[in-house]
Amino acid sequence: VRLQSMQVSAYDLAVIGGGVIGLACAWRLAQDGAAVAVIDPAPGQGASYAAAGMLAPVTEIHSGEEAVLRLGLEAAERYPAFVAELEQSSGSAVGYRACGTLTVALDAGDSAVLDDVADLQRRLGLRVQALTGREGRRLEPLLAPGIRSAALVEGDHQVDGRCLTAALQVAAERAGAVVVRRSAAAVTTRADRVTGVRLDDGTELATGAVVLAAGARCGDLDGVPGEALPPVRPVKGQVLRLRVPPAYRPFLSRTVRGTVRGFPVYLVPREDGELVVGATQEEQGYDETVTAGAVYQLLRDAHALVPALTELPLVESTARLRPGSPDNAPVVGPTALDGLVAATGHHRNGILLADVTARAVAALVRDGVLPPEMAPFAAHRFQTRAMTEGALR
């Protein structure tokens, strides 16, 4: 132990967290020529592992979150180029599917919700096409006959989050990044500046800066003053994976989502026959258990929209934690601790926002400033508040 604690490796940057955000940051930073270490005991096994991979800024819209919408639209537009570059660099496909999204409503209440969302989307100049239930069923014949209305968003696509994360790891490693399969125990500092990361085995990595991309677990790190920790909380999502046998394909041709008696549910069909059904949104701390109630609710509601679903093999149930921030928007950029950069808070949009975030972090390291599109999501928007509150106490 004593020997290990004296080992020191030096990198320009350490990225804590090897999910989609951390790996994307590592890739872009390594492309810029930095010596990068990604620290994660199990890369790609956190929230990215559960993600359905919807690239859906328009259908994921929430009123009052227009800034996230703009960032998401920009990210969605750049996605095909990002995918092309990543597939080329990694040599593996990431399952990008430009399939569009159909939102459906089951009863009058669900239909009213759908109308309200469509109104908001149109007010913001977004492209959405209102359909009758019959028109929706023409697009997706396996929809329940009782579907009341639907809305088609042709620009909301999908990618396979697991393939994406795996490809990012390969691309980052090929660009020179090193993946260290350990947990980060602490950030080390001297004179209020980051000097490195101490791992759970006592090893120290000396680094010029640390990118904190540990999702919902960003708060769980010694050595960082409270005001520099990004204010993220775990938002649990339970999600199911079913398999569409070849004889039943395509089953669904695009993402189908809706509210069923007030509960949101989505079904994301992959080209390879995987069908992802999600997701719950629960706030109860660091709990990753799959519950019978959630599996029941997801299957009940998905079945209400697509009754044939009960014929499919259920192959997986997973629970992971999204990193939610106080305003549900990303938390990116310099923090109150010199040399500590946040890249978290992506909540329901981590897959979509991975590359815009990584480019912003790389630009910050290169030029010293966040690019304008990321400025509204700067981490210090919360620090100012925390410091003011601190001063008032």
Q: Which residues of 324-342 are buried (b: 16+ CB within 10 A; e: fewer)?
A: bbebbbbbbbbbbbebbbb
Among 15, 21, 52, 361, binds ligand GLY (CB under 6 A): 52
Strand ranges across the sheet with 149-153: 129-132, 149-153, 101-105, 255-260, 263-269, 274-278, 233-243, 314-324
Q: Is 54 in the site for ligand GLY (CB under 6 A)?
A: yes
Among 196, 237, 258, 269, binds ligand GLY (CB under 6 A): 237
> How many Å is the maximal CA-CA distance in the chain?
71
3-class DSSP assignment, residue 70: helix
Interface region with ligand GLY, contact rule CB under 6 A, candidates 52-60, 163-171, 287-295, 381-389: 52-60
Contacts of 388 (CB under 8 A, 6+ apart): none
Name residues contacting ligand GLY, limited to 255-314 (CB under 6 A): 278-279
Q: Is 231 in the site for ligand GLY (CB under 6 A)?
A: no
Distance in Å, CB of 188 to ligand GLY, minimum: 34
| Cis amide prior to 279 (ω within 30 degrees) | yes
Write the burial class of residue 128 (CB in 10 Å: 0-12 exposed, 13-18 middle, 19+ buried): buried
Among 19, 348, 370, 377, binds ligand GLY (CB under 6 A): 348
Q: Is 320 in the site for ligand GLY (CB under 6 A)?
A: no
Distance in Å, CB of 239 to ligand GLY, minimum: 7
Distance in Å, CB of 195 to ligand GLY, minimum: 36
Distance in Å, CB of 51 to ligand GLY, minimum: 7
Residue number with CB closer to ligand GLY (68 or 332): 68
> Binding mask 117-136 vs ligand GLY (x if CB under 6 A, - otherwise)?
--------------------
Instruction: Tell me how many degrees the CA angle 263-317-300 measures, rounded to the nearest 5.
Output: 35
Q: Is 215 in the site for ligand GLY (CB under 6 A)?
A: no
List of residues contacting ligand GLY (CB under 6 A): 52, 54, 60, 237, 278-279, 322, 348
